[in-house]
Amino acid sequence: MSLQIGQKAPDFTLYNTDKEQVTLSSLHGKNVLLLFFPFAFTGTCTKELCATRDNLTVYQGLNAEVFGISVDSPHALRAFKESLNLNFALLSDFNKEVSTAYDTIYETFALGTKGVSKRSAFVIDKEGVIQYAEVLENATEIPDFDKIQACLKALN
């Protein structure tokens, strides 16, 4: 069953590219933008995350912490982050637990790969409640950043 606006966001702990744990519930009091993406070093993922990088001050101005999440290893995500000079954290869902909890995972993806994160966006408010949810079936599409920013603006 897909997550709905108004539901409590599933808590999680994942490793970032510096091998530090990030726990969603520890961000209580801040708005959070979670951007799930299929794979590092691919065209649409690069476009999406660079757009986020280039607009990070907008998200910071809206009191939002931004995280990119994929099933890539922390090592691959670190190389990806460095190659694009990303200014926000990437989290490794290597065991696919968070992508599954957020119902944003392909059973089968390109080239027969299994258990890859669907491109999706979730805005979670300061109380840990989902205020925006967009799960894209087509991996070549990008979340609607205008709607995401409008949602974050309404939360402040």
Q: How far apart are the C-alpha atoms of 12 and 93, rounded to whole Å? A: 10
Active site residue 45: yes
Which of 103, 102, 106, 125 is CA-nearest to residue 115? 106
Which of 7, 1, 2 is CA-nearest to residue 123? 7
Q: How far apart are the C-alpha atoms of 4 and 2, rounded to whole Å? A: 6
Q: Which residues pair with 69 in a beta bridge?
A: 36, 91
- The one catalytic residue in 45, 66, 91, 151 is 45
Q: How far apart are the C-alpha atoms of 79 and 40, rounded to whole Å? A: 9
Query: Which residue type is seen at 102?
Result: Y
Query: Any idea which residues carry the catalytic annotation?
Result: 45
